[in-house]
Amino acid sequence: MNLMFRKLHRDVRKSVKEAIIELGWDLPDNIPIEEPPRPDMGDVATSVAFELASKLKRSPVKINRELMEVIKKPTIFKEIKSVGPYLNFFINYQNYSESVLETVDEDYGKLETIHEKIILEHTSANPNGPLHIGHIRNSILGDSLSRILSNSGCTVETQYYVNDMGRQIAMVVWGLLNLKFDPSKLADQSPKDIDPYQQIDNIIKEHSKLNDLEGTYLNGLKNILYLQIFIDAELRDHQIGELYFQVNQELKNNPDLKGGVDELLRVYERGNDPLLGFFFKEAVNACLEGMDPTLQRLHVHHKRFIWESKFVRNGSVDEIITKLKKDGHTQENEILCLNLEDYGIEKELVLMRSDGTSLYSTRDLAYHLEKSNESDVVIDILGSDHKLAIQQISIVLGFLDGKSPEVIFYEFITLPEGSMSTRRGVFISVDDLLEESTERAMEEIKKRRDDLSNDEAREIAEKIGVGAVRFYIARLSPEKHIVFKWDEALSFERGCASIQYAHARACKILQKAEFDSSTVNLEGILGKYDLKSPERELVKVISQFTWVVEESARSRKVHLVSQYCLDLASAFNKFYKSMPVIGSEEEEFRLALVDKSRITLRNSLELLGIDAPESM
RNA sequence: GGGCCCGUAGCCUAGCCAGGAUAGGGCAUCAGACUCCUAAUCUGAGGGUCCCGGGUUCAAAUCCCGGCGGGUCCGCCA
């Protein structure tokens, strides 16, 4: 672990403190550390003189003059200058560079293990259609954060909360039981002259036991078979989405059908109709089977999928309700609910419908209690529209002796024409986004490389395309509302591609020079060489990486890492442009610097789930 | 109506929690750089009422109060 950058701050504080003591002044509460606005003004600065000014009744400039008389320069610095009210410290880059290069290894950025288990829930999109660009903000923030937290030494378990009990899923199941898929939308690989449902009828005829099924269940079975036989796994979420859209149309035209959906929900919750349970499970599974390849392609991973129905089946929902009732928190008339007015929330929290079924919030309460029991810290990634709901949940978790989750809220991604909606079938799917992104990357590659095979180009285009999408989301602070625009999302200039490009450049130099890190002796590598400013800047940025990992993990801010990646790439590209490496006087040092840049670029991109191609 | 979030050049954005140097970047615009490790790059220029108005402070994009504009929530939805 590289603590060089941290040491700079520590050494500044220490020497300032000692100087203040020597002058017999009171130590201020805080010795602020800043970075000077320009590199030629120094590397680390402190405005401690401001802190002292009011107590000492002297001007900051005067105070600095006195501090400068007695202050001892830490060895890592070359000099200290007093500029107005600031003390500016200049790094001794000969020493510093050697220390930094020595401590950067292939695992650079991985911090010491701390024994803290975090359960991080993210994505958790309803299985009623494919993932769209509104969902990926959740996935990308969650997955990146999980990588950052793991790197910072925590144990992170990522979970996807599968909603298999809500009304929306019941609507999908209703569609499965009462409607048909549209075979005209089958992919081209199926011959047009066959009727899928005809084939399915034949299959059912051949299985005598299936012949007993009738009515909606028979229809449901046909639809399940349709999905499994005729639809590729990766497209099943799209089919479910279209079915869901169709059901919404039906319901709009005939609101009486709502009763049928409610009945499905009641029966499923009671859990005594195995066949209906089968249809719920199959509907949800079909959708998850379609989402899985999408998430894989984005490098988004979940350790566990937790099905919501579990908390009804295993009795924890009942236990919670019993406990809340017993402790006198609840109010009961037709429904069972909690009055949270004492906690500043006007809106009561309903725990049970008048028909006795549970609600999302009831089950979510049980889920959060489980997460609380299984971890030290619970983190949720949620759209900011869930703020009130999670606030209610948190209060009730307090009644139940559970930990409140830490929540990272993000604002919506909308289209220029308005908000997205699975229900209305208005959205851009992640699959389409990735397809477009890799396609555009492919065009760029073809523009500049004619030496690559199609497969090689494809492979690189995939890394660039996925990287562009992930970076587009990860670079922005989550509380910022995004209006999705293709050209902004898939820009290859000064964005992710420029970072990947810096990495590819580094790889190319090392490859060309046949660099072997194992034979390099870093000691005394610099001799008396006075580093040029692009080299100094690059060394400094490399040394900041550990601190960035720490800081982004602590503050749970993914975009700090994105910003860092850009800074690092920029420092490297400037160095690359202005300093010859191969064949130069300082080749040995510069190759080592290129190698450390390569590692840091790769590891920082890794935190964002972005591949670093070795050639572009 | 009430709660929460956002408002920084034509566009996107960091900085705000922990107030300090000329408000950082990027896109777009303009001017320049490939006989030299890939120009997905680099160098330079112009462009700002940090939404508005008060207040606190030696010092406010940052903290406090009041507005304005946009988003979102206030379901026996999830």
Query: For a pLDDT cut of 70, what percent of chain A falls above it?
Result: 98
Q: Give the least confident one: A28-32, A469-473, A568-572.
A: A28-32
Q: How confident is the model at residue A187 (pLDDT cuts 50, 70, 90)?
A: low
Q: In this structure, are residues A540 and A569 in contact, taking their beta carbons and an 8 Å threshold?
A: no
CA of A166: nucleotide with nearest C1'? B78
Distance from residue A428 (CA) to nucleotide B39 (C1'), in Å? 34
Residue A191 has pLDDT above 70, yes or no: no
For the record, the structure tokens of A406 come out as 């830490």
Instruction: Write down the pLDDT at residue A189.
Output: 55
- Strand A117-121: give its sheet, edge to edge: A304-307, A155-162, A117-121, A377-383, A406-410
Residue nearest to nucleotide B41 (CA to C1'): A573
| Mean of pLDDT values over A344-372 | 94
CA–C1' A545–B44 (A): 30
**What is the structure's pLDDT at A483?**
95
DSSP state letters, A535-548: HHHHHHHHHHHHHH
Residue A12, judged by CB atoms within 10 A of its CB (0-12, 13-18, 19+), counts as: buried
Q: What is the pLDDT of residue A1?
A: 47
Tell me the pLDDT tens digit for each residue of A61-119.
999 999 999 999 999 999 999 998 999 999 999 999 999 999 999 999 999 999 999 99
Banded pLDDT at A518 (limits 50, 70, 90) = confident
β strands within A342-498, DSSP E: 349-352, 377-383, 406-410, 413-414, 482-483
- The span from the CA of A613 to the CA of A592, in Å, is 20
How far, CA to CA in Å, does A161 sit from each of A304, A308, A360, A390?
9, 7, 12, 15
Give me the mean pLDDT over the A273-299 stretch: 96
Using pLDDT thresholds of 50, 70 and 90, give the confidence band for residue A185.
Answer: confident
A275: DSSP letter: H
In angstroms, how far is B61 C1' from A555 CA? 21
- Closest residue to B72 (CA to C1') is A385
- For A234, the 3-state DSSP assignment is helix
Q: What is the reported pLDDT for A37?
A: 87
Find out whether A109 and A603 touch, Cβ atoms under 8 Å. Answer: yes
pLDDT at res. A188 = 58
pLDDT digits (tens, 9 = 90+) for A547-597: 999 999 999 999 999 999 999 999 999 999 999 999 999 999 999 999 999
**Among the listed ranges A158-162, A343-347, A497-501, which one has the minimum average pLDDT value?**
A343-347
Q: Which pLDDT belongs to residue A549?
A: 96
Question: Which pLDDT tens digit goes with each residue over A197-250?
Answer: 998 888 888 877 777 777 899 999 999 999 999 999 999 999 999 999 999 999
Closest CA to A138 of A411, A350, A387: A411
Categorize the per-residue pLDDT at A522 as very low, low, confident or very high, splitting at 50, 70 and 90: confident
With distances taken from each CA to the C1' atom of nucleotide B20, the closest residue turns out to be A47
| Percent helix / strand / coil, chain A, rounded to 5 | 55, 10, 30
Question: What's the pLDDT score for residue A264?
Answer: 95
Weakest mean pLDDT among A26-30, A166-170, A284-288: A26-30
Bases along strand B below 7 A from a protein CB: 3-7, 12-15, 17-18, 20-22, 24-28, 36-43, 58-59, 70-78
Dig out the tokens for A142 from the structure: 């969650």
pLDDT reading at A512 higher than 80: yes
Strands of the sheet containing A349-352, edge to edge, are: A330-332, A336-338, A349-352
Residues 6+ apart with CB under 8 A from A560: A548, A551, A552
Look at residue A330 and give its three-state secondary structure: strand
**For residue A199, what pLDDT is reported?**
86
Provide, in whole angstroms, the distance separating residue A390's CA from nucleotide B61's C1'. 31
Round to a whole number and report the distance in Å from the CA of A99 to the C1' of B43: 31
pLDDT category of residue A454 using cuts at 50, 70 and 90:
very high
Please provide the DSSP assignment of A455-467 as one string: HHHHHHHHHHHHH
Q: Is the pLDDT of residue A192 over 70?
A: no
Query: Using CA atoms in the order A573, A512, A94, A545, what is the torsion angle rounded to 10 degrees?
Result: 50
Question: Using an 8 Å Cβ cutoff, are A91 and A76 in contact?
Answer: yes
Which nucleotide minimizes the distance between its C1' and the CA of A614? B38
A41: which nucleotide lies closest, measuring CA to C1'?
B21
- State how beta strands A155-162 and A86-91 pair: unpaired
Nearest nt to the A500 alpha carbon by C1': B40
Mean per-residue pLDDT, A44-49:
93
**Residue in A137, A150, A215 with CA at minimum distance from that of residue A478:** A137
Its pTM stands at 0.95
A163: nt with nearest C1' to CA: B78
Which nucleotide lies nearest residue A346, CA to C1'? B74
First to last CA, chain A: 30
| CA-to-C1' span, A412 to B3 (A) | 18
Measured CA to CA, the distance from residue A155 to residue A153 in angstroms comes to: 7
With CA of A443 and C1' of each nucleotide, the nearest comes out as B40
Question: In angstroms, how far is B36 C1' from A584 CA?
Answer: 12
What integer is the mean pLDDT of A163-184? Answer: 94
Instruction: Report percent pLDDT > 90 for chain A.
Output: 84
Q: In this model, does residue A533 exceed pLDDT 80? A: yes
User: φ, ψ for residue A89 (rounded to 5)?
Assistant: -105, 130
- Determine the Cα–Cα distance for residues A10 and A16; give it in Å rounded to an integer: 10
Note the CA–C1' distance, A489 to B73, in angstroms.
28
Note whether A374 and A119 are within 8 A (CB): yes
Q: Which residue is nearest to nucleotide B6 (CA to C1')?
A: A480
